């Protein structure tokens, strides 16, 4: 996804760096090193989770005060929507992101954060429609097509989602084209990871590709109903330090992986 627009949570993004100290020396690029015990535990330290929660609670409260003083502040709704999303208050995030679009019609098509919030609020048809609208705004960003596929998969099933994969004429950055092939059924997760391992790229670029690969491999496993595999990959995307360092859109996506991993870990624990 592109860099965020109005009120993109620029105050919140540096707070992500608090989590970097929590990352263990667990290997990234394969989930073979994840023991049963480590997978059952949060990839972040308790203290760092508490600091993030407090920071987002404070941001939400501050934004609420600004909204009470100026009910037409798009920036305040944006900041509060981000805080609500990061706190897993998905319905409230949808409400704030929707308020932004009502106040600024230029955001109606481009508001991909609203689409992701709709997905996690389990409003899958509405989420798919938001990503369809975004395609009219940007016909190159294949990450948008990935989210449309995930939303359609949940709303209508894999067959229809594959039939509805958006068409892209221009190349996008890896690993998004490869993830698209995963959704189409012409590539598997290990092939994506092997390609990243063999690519002649910088260490930073490799970490970036691994972050997105594990994130979207994990989300694909999730919509297909394999919670255990999904949680393993989302754990690795959370442990990857590139996302929170990158800022803006990547940091938001890092939170997506963090939140989804937490939801799946709790779900799997409840089954035991």
Token pair for 214:
């594990």
Each residue's pLDDT tens digit, 212-268: 999 999 999 999 999 999 999 999 999 999 998 988 889 999 999 999 999 999 999
Q: pTM for the whole thing?
A: 0.88
| C-alpha to C-alpha distances, 119 to 93, 206, 248, nearest whole angstrom | 11, 28, 20
Distance CA 138, CA 148 (A): 13
Distance CA 210, CA 236 (A): 9
The continuous run of DSSP H or E covering 126 comes out as helix 124-137
> Could you tell me the maximum CA-CA distance found in the chain, to the nearest angstrom?
54
Counting DSSP H helices and E strands in the chain, the numbers are 14, 0
Each residue's pLDDT tens digit, 42-59: 999 999 999 999 999 999
Distance CA 207, CA 215 (A): 12
| Nearest residue to 103 via CA among 148, 138, 132, 72 | 72
Q: How many CB atoms lie within 10 A of CB 51?
A: 16
Percent of the chain with pLDDT over 90: 72
Place of tokens 């391992």: 197
DSSP state of 12: T
DSSP string, 247-263: -HHHHHHHHHHHHHHHH
Domains delineated in the chain: 13-271 (1.25.40.10)
What mean pLDDT is predicted for residues 16-28?
A: 41
Each residue's pLDDT tens digit, 128-152: 999 998 877 766 678 889 999 999 9
**Helix, strand, coil % (nearest 5) of the chain?**
70, 0, 30
């Amino acid at each position: 996804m592109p860099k965020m627009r109005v009120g993109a949570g620029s105050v919140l993004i540096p707070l992500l760096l608090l989590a970097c100290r929590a990352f263990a020396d667990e290997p990234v690029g394969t989930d073979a090193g994840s023991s049963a015990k480590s997978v059952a535990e949060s990839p972040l330290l308790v203290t760092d989770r508490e600091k993030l929660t407090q920071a987002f609670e404070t941001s939400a409260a501050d934004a609420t005060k600004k909204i009470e003083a100026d009910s037409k502040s798009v920036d305040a709704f944006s900041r509060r929507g981000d805080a609500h999303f990061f706190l897993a208050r998905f319905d409230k995030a949808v409400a704030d992101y929707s308020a932004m679009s009502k106040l600024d019609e230029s955001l109606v098509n481009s508001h991909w954060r609203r689409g992701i919030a709709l997905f996690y609020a389990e409003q899958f048809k509405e989420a798919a429609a938001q990503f369809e609208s975004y395609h009219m705004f940007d016909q190159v960003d294949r990450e948008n097509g990935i989210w449309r596929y995930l939303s359609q998969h949940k709303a209508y099933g894999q067959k229809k989602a594959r039939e509805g994969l958006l068409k892209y004429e221009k190349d996008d950055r890896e690993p998004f084209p490869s993830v698209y092939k995963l959704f189409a059924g012409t590539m598997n997760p290990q092939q994506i990871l092997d390609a990243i391992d063999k690519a002649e790229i910088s260490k930073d670029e490799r970490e970036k590709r691994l972050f997105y690969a594990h994130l979207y491999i994990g989300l694909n496993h999730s919509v297909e109903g394999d919670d255990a595999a999904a949680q393993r990959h989302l754990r690795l995307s959370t442990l990857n330090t590139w996302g929170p360092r990158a800022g803006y859109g990547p940091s938001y996506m890092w939170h997506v992986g963090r939140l989804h991993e937490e939801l799946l870990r709790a779900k799997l624990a409840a089954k035991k």
